[in-house]
Chains A and B, each alone.
Chain A
Amino acid sequence: MFDTLTDKFSSVFRNLSGKGRISEENIRESMREVRVALLEADVNLKVVNDFCEQVVQKAVGQEVIKSLQPAQLMVKIVNDELVNLMGPVDTQIYTVTPGPTVIMMCGLQGSGKTTTCGKLALYLKAKGHNPMLAAVDLQRPAAVQQLRTLAEQTDVPIYADDTKVAPHGEVARGAAVSVARAAVNKARELGRDILILDTAGRLAIDQELMDELKDVNEAVKPHQIFLVLDSMTGQDAVNSAKAFNEKLELDGLILTKFDSDTRGGALLSAKMVTGKPVKFLGVGEKLDRLEEFRPEGVASRILGMGDIVGLVEAAHDKFDMEQQTKLAEKMEKGEFTLDDFMSQMGQIKKLGPMGKVLGMIPGMSELAKQANMNGEGVEGHMGRMQAIYNSMNRRERKKPDMVDAPRRRRIARGAGVEVNEVGQFLKQFDMSRSMMRAVGGMNMFSRMKMMKGLMSGDLGAIAQPGTNMLRTKRSGWQEPKDRNKKKKKR
């Protein structure tokens, strides 16, 4: 989709290239695709319209017109503007002394409040706090029990009072207030520095329950109020976020179920309408799956570009940096061997399930899907490469050029693959090597991009590393140095 967006921009501008002028009107026209992309991602209509207008103004100001690659510059402006809108980033949990700092969670039914309470407790614990949970959801059957289980799992104390649970069909209005009050006292008594209140799910239009929330708010005056919102929410995200914000003056947003394939427009909508920072994203069922929010990844996701920054960060954490440096040196000297090739592959594997990793790279989610469709999976494909590698002897690994037909047959037998697969594997390595030589010192994205080409056998992609690459520079990452050299070689 990142690619498609660039393509769409290109096609709009290409038609005009003969005329040599790109007007504001053309920019506007090109924004139509962005508008559709955002609406498909469930971004609120008004937000979309404002956003597009802003981008047009920016684009005109930045003289896209004079740019040599207007399409790519447009993508950058759109991306940057989205990131900008989702900021400023503030994932800090503010605490007060003396404690306890009271955090109240609220939201619609099924948004994931209770689970998020558990996740937040675990997160705070890891940060050195002493959190405590309080079961103020007295409406939903077994909600108290659920929070109690989560408290056990996270080994965090809980305040709960089963006698206060609302009888079927009634609202436990006064009860919620008294439970919340008692919980605060208990937390103080136990010396816990943070208290997390789990409240009942409610519709923004449910006056009675909204009033209950207000009562709790006035009674215990929470220091932080977070709205928990399902990231798959559609246009209604705005209504709910607005209603909760008006009633309670929110301090932050937590978007859940971000591990689904939602494009996550609800996040942008809710952020825009409340003006409150997104604090966390829930990204899995396990209790440690709570991530601090950062807009870069989400911007590309809303546009359908894949989360390249997330990948880079994951790569940063998991890649053996020393090995990477060595590799970079080798590449510059043109000494890229089959061993390096395989170790590189292994590094990528460490990032997580291949399908997921690929999904984070622009344009590669398709490849992941294809691989899955073959029933083999990306892992399967890599596994076969590994098998071939394992069946080669040391000399062959050092000098793959020596692998002739008889050797190929022997390796294929050893690896349990077809003979031509061995040939393919070596060809892939060969291409990879010549690429590595050509672009030694190239940044990691580009290498990733190449991996894509290698794995899909898409020679076109390999032939053009550097095209469609991430434009936003981050310190420490370099743009490819010498495309000209590479072109000459080819």
Chain B
Amino acid sequence: MGFFSKSIDRLKTALKKTAEVLNTDVRTLFVPGRQIDDAFLDEIEEKFIRADMGVKNVQIIIGAIRDRWRLGKIRNADEAKDVVKEIMLRDWPAEEREIRFNPNGPTVIMVAGVNGAGKTTSIAKLANLLKNRAGKSVMVAAGDTFRAAAVEQLTIWSERLGVEIVKHKQGGDPAAVAYDACEAAKARGIDVVIVDTAGRLHTQQHLMRELQKIREVISKRIDGAPHEVILVLDATTGQNAVNQAKNFMQCVQVTGLMLAKLDGTAKGGVILSIKDELNIPVKFIGLGETPEDIETFDPQRFVDALFGDETA
């Protein structure tokens, strides 16, 4: 296990919280002993679609249950649950879900996403995680020079968390901010640089090119950088999240996802579609507004939580 599981208590609380927030009402559906019938299948369909899992995925799951049920292989809800879990758990990117650190020199984490996805808050969370739980020295780079007061917002976070910040004026060149941050990190021996970027819709090609440029500048300053490109997705987003992931992937080679705002009523089921179409691991989930509300993502836990099962 990595550096996150330092405190077993913390993990347990988080687990409980994850289970609570991810908990759909599917629990009531898979009552032990309930027989499978058409009404049952309809209910599953409804609940899974409501979790934003996408029509295609839901149809695959329902199809699998129906097939086995017709063949007489399964009869009750408990068995159906196993089928569902099996399908949901297959084909997750096996890749390590923790941050890839640069063994020589600063590790650069670039954070991108559409407007309002929760990038800045997620950066605060990552910074907190790396500083306080992994004991790294952290610097943030205020690369969102576009949105009004975005620099101020990150500055406030950096003060609260006690991490360094590199910033320019609003309206400045974000690539220049990234450049300066990389140089400063090298000079000051900082372990991790987290580069914020302005929110941009994945359909805005000129803004996507700007993102590419930031990435290039970073890669020229530090070997192998950016070591992580984290795409922040809003858990309330529907099937459009797939398009987002696709376009950002194409543009800046996303290495991992952070699913923000999972503390609401949304279930973030769209990551199942993303998993099927793109091989990007979900690395973190955001569960609230404080910098502590971040956890590593684990498919098993995600799926168990969906069913309200306890994970050992």
Q: Give chain A's interface residues, CB within 8 Å of chain B.
A: 36, 39-42, 44-45, 108-112, 114-115, 139-143, 145-150, 153, 168-169, 203-205, 230, 232-237, 239-240, 256-257, 259-263, 265-266, 285
Contact = CB atoms under 8 A, between A and B. Distances in A.
A141 B155 CA distance: 9
B148 A262 contact: no
A230 B261 contact: no
B300 interface: no
Interface string B86-109: 000000000000000000000000
Given A40-B55, A45-B50, A146-B148, A230 B234 contact: yes
- Range class of the B interface residue count: 35 or more
Interface string B61-104: 00000000000000000000000000000000000000000000
Interface in B221-245: 234, 236-241, 243-244
Contacts of B243: 260-262
A146 B266 contact: no
Nearest to A111: B116
Contacts of A145: 148-149, 152-153
A199 B246 CA distance: 33
Contacts of B50: 44-45, 235
A150 B54 contact: no
B115 interface: yes
Contact of A204 (B155, B160, B202, B264): B264
Given A109-B261, A235-B49, A39 B55 contact: yes
B118 interface: yes
A112 B115 contact: yes
Given A39-B49, A145-B152, A265-B238, A239 B265 contact: yes
27 contacts: A36-B55, A42-B239, A44-B50, A109-B261, A110-B116, A112-B116, A142-B153, A142-B156, A145-B148, A146-B148, A146-B149, A149-B148, A150-B148, A230-B237, A232-B234, A233-B238, A234-B239, A234-B241, A234-B270, A235-B50, A237-B236, A257-B201, A259-B203, A260-B243, A261-B243, A263-B239, A266-B238
Given A233-B238, A259-B203, A262-B240, A142 B152 contact: yes
Given A110-B261, A235-B50, A236-B52, A142 B150 contact: yes
B114 interface: yes
B5 interface: no
A118 to B, nearest CB: 8
Contact of A108 (B114, B202, B264): B264
Contacts of A42: 52, 238-240
A260 B116 contact: no
Contact of A233 (B118, B236, B289): B236
Interface in B146-198: 146-150, 152-153, 155-157, 160, 170
B198 to A, nearest CB: 9
With most chain A CB atoms within 10 A of its CB, the pick from B52, B204, B234, B267 is B234
Contact of B265 (A111, A168, A204, A263): A204
B13 to A, nearest CB: 17
Interface centre among A44, A139, A257 (most CB of B within 10 A): A257
Contacts of A169: 290
Contacts of A143: 149, 153
Nearest to A151: B148
Interface of B: 46, 49-52, 54-55, 114-118, 146-150, 152-153, 155-157, 160, 170, 201-204, 234, 236-241, 243-244, 261, 263-267, 269-270, 289-290
A234 B46 contact: no
A129 to B, nearest CB: 22
Contacts of A205: 264-265
A41 B55 CA distance: 10
Among A108, A111, A236, A260, the one with the most B-chain Cβ atoms within 10 Å of its Cβ is A236
A7 B37 CA distance: 33
Contacts of A285: 115, 146
10 A-B pairs closest in CB distance: A234-B238, A110-B116, A42-B238, A149-B148, A146-B149, A142-B152, A142-B153, A141-B156, A145-B149, A236-B266
A40 B170 CA distance: 38
A142 B149 contact: yes
A4 to B, nearest CB: 15
B59 to A, nearest CB: 9
Nearest to A145: B149
Contact of B238 (A109, A235, A240): A235
Contacts of B239: 40-42, 234, 263
Contact of A260 (B55, B146, B148, B203): B203
A168 B266 CA distance: 26
A39 B45 CA distance: 12
Given A42-B240, A146-B148, A261-B240, 16 more contacts: A108-B264, A114-B148, A115-B115, A141-B156, A142-B155, A169-B290, A203-B263, A203-B264, A230-B237, A232-B244, A234-B237, A234-B238, A234-B239, A235-B49, A235-B266, A259-B201
